[in-house]
Structure 1
Amino acid sequence: MNDWTTSSPDPVLARRRTEGWMFLREAARDLRTTGAIAPSGKALARALTDPLRATARPSAVLEAGAGTGAVTRVLIPQLSRGSRLDVVEANPRFAARLRHLVATHPHPAGLPGRAAVHQTYVEHLSTEQRYDVIVSGLPLTNFAPEQVERIMARYMELLRPGGALTYFAYIGTRGARALTASRAEARRHAEVNEVMAAYQRRYATGRWTVWANLPPAHVWHLRRPLAPPHDRESHRVVAGR
């Protein structure tokens, strides 16, 4: 008998197929909140998690809109011992899959007990934690401008001074929407772009193009500024009272 008839299926390929079908089902339910028809590719995941490779110290990390965990799976091995990971996902089926991924991932840095999956919207996340890195997989261009502003403001609130935010935007969506969308939808998309452009002008440290993704995407890195010296000085005075 030929080897190919008796060999077991490739577990990685099987997982990718399962995640692909799951994404398609959830996109059929609600494309606006799912945001894509396929999970993020490895090249996109690496670009989104790049700030974690720049440090070996323990970090507090938040991933928002994690989907089936394509980025989470790349993110976890980059966490140094003592790090904390919070994963936010509003879709209950995705959240259940993420809980299993976090609980069973063979990570050597002692992550169990320091990772949690929250089934909620990031704007509603109740936490006093401030993060060194936030990785956003949310389909921001699918939301209303007011919601995008709330999400971005919440990200900046959750970041520690000096902390990094990464997110992506698919290439070509603006032109495609201009050709196919209604006037109201095109206006909504343009207003979202204006909100994002304002944050990019104020906080962006770089933009990278990931062609090896379906579809190709731009990855943005933003950084919350460190507190000005006079703010740190006033904090020390108050703390010393």
Structure 2
Amino acid sequence: MGKWFSEYRVFWQEFRQTFHTTGAVLPSGRRLSRALARQVGRDERPRRILEVGPGTGAVTAEIIPRLGPEDRLDLVELNERFAEILRQRLNEDEKWQRVANRVRVMQLPVEQLPLSEKYECIVSGLPLNNFSCEFVQQVLDHFHSLASEGCTLSFFEYVAIRNFKAMVSSRDERKRLQGIDQILRQELARWEFQRKIVLANVPPAWVHHLRFAAPLPCSDEYPVVQPAVC
């Protein structure tokens, strides 16, 4: 209980100090974390997995049990305090210790991750709705460059968050949110194969699963693919 409270306290402190890159008041809930980790361990071949913005490791804790014996996991975390918590968990948490020799914690912006690194699975916790349109596009382009053929990308966004923000925002902020909405709609229309709504999270969230393979025809609308409720 003390350890749980300590991590939540750190998350809250970092949210207050670095809202732009933290984006959430609390770590992802258990059901949201499970939904984000869903594509890890879907086959038996060795895979390289990348988690971007793991925070204090809520989603990481769901990824680790899904790792195969030859899988490798890279955790890219910009926040210094979060990165230190991740390293501490690898040293002290019994479940994490079992895979510690196959897990790397890298404290750097994801856009600086070398393109020589290629992954079969990417899980992102980045608060895309906090960023500029240009940076959102840059991050998505970098994900494509890091992806091997057939790589999956899983990320989430809170339900109706852009619509809610637009109602209480300035004209420039609404323009930014509309631009992000357009970028994500195009990306999802082209690559998304599954999405789920996680109602048992605060706040409720959509989880999107994309696969970077042969592109689908572009559309201005979200495809309705395998809807589900977690």
* Larger radius of gyration between Structure 1 and Structure 2: 1
Q: Does 1:80 align with 2:87?
A: no
Which position in structure 1 is the counterpart of 2:155? 167
Contact 1:82 1:110 in 2 (8 A): no
Once the two structures are superposed, residues 139-182 of structure 1 have per-residue CA deviations (whole angstroms, 9 ceiling, x without a partner) of: 00110000000100111111111110000000131232122111
Letter in 2 for 1:57: R
> Residues 112-191 of structure 1: matches in 2 within 5 Å?
112-126=100-114, 128-191=116-179
Matched, 1:197 2:209: no
Q: CA deviation at 1:110?
A: 5.3
Determine which structure has the larger helix proportion and give its number: 1
Partner residue of 2:195?
Answer: 207
| Alignment partners' CA distance in 1, 2:203 and 2:74 | 27
Report the CA distance shift for 1:99/1:226 in structure 2 as closer, same or farther (over 3 A).
farther
Q: Is the partner of 2:101 in helix, strand or coil?
A: coil
Q: What secondary structure is seen at the aligned counterpart in 1 of 2:100?
A: coil
Shift in Å, 1:133: 0.5
In the TM superposition, residue 127 of structure 1 has moved relative to its aligned partner by: 5.2
TM-score (normalizing by structure 1)? 0.84
Mapped to 1, the partners of 2:112 and 2:169 lie a distance apart of: 30
Contact 1:81 1:109 in 2 (8 A): no
CA drift at 1:126: 2.3
CA RMSD in angstroms comes to 1.8
**1:71 corresponds to which of 33, 43, 59:** 59
Instruction: Work out the CA distance in 1 between the residues paired with 2:46 and 2:94.
Output: 18
1:31-79 deviation per Cα after TM superposition (whole angstroms, max 9, x unaligned)? 1211000000110111111011422332100000111111111111110
SS at match of 1:86: strand
**Partner of residue 62 from structure 1, selected from 47, 50, 63:** 50
Aligned residue pairs total: 215
SS in 1 for 2:84: helix
Indicate whether 1:31 and 2:19 are aligned. yes
Shift of 1:104: 3.3
5+ residue gaps, structure 1, are: 1-12, 228-241
**Does the aligned pair in 2 maintain the 1:161–1:226 contact within 8 Å?**
no
Instruction: Say which is worse superposed, 100-109 or 200-209, in terms of deviation.
Output: 100-109
Q: Per the alignment, do residues 185 and 119 of structure 1 end up closer, same or farther by CA in structure 2, a change over 3 Å counting?
A: same
Q: Could you tell me the TM-score, scaled by structure 2's length?
A: 0.88
